[in-house]
Amino acid sequence: MDPECPSRVVLQRIGDKWTPLIVQALKDGALRFSALRVAVGGITPKVLTQTLRTLERDGLVARAVYAEVPVRVEYRLTPLGESLLGPLDAIRDWAETHSRKILDARDAFDAATA
């Protein structure tokens, strides 16, 4: 719980809105920017670019540029990024198992406070 603990930075990264979705989208292999944007859904090009740069900086994603016309750029998980798939799968499984209970609790709370 120490504000200076390095794990806080990591937890902020993997707990943001887009990182888990991008990591999941890349689990089956490299994707180009446009295919990644479609796979994630709802993310703007600007936010996708920013998130990919951060993930690359953190060593979770690798960017490969191919000298073709037009230039081809692909993104893939690094071994460190692949190691995140297990924990994210566990969180996704938990969310899928408990989402109905959470939505019911929200409805009950909102009804009680309305």
pLDDT in tens, 49-84: 999 999 999 999 999 999 988 889 999 999 999 999
Q: Give 45: exposed, middle or buried? Use CB within 10 Å, 0-12, 13-18, 19+.
A: exposed
pTM score of the predicted model: 0.87
pLDDT per residue as tens digits for the range 6-47:
888 888 888 899 999 999 999 999 999 999 999 999 999 999
Residue of 16, 11, 92, 6 whose CA lies nearest to 51 = 16
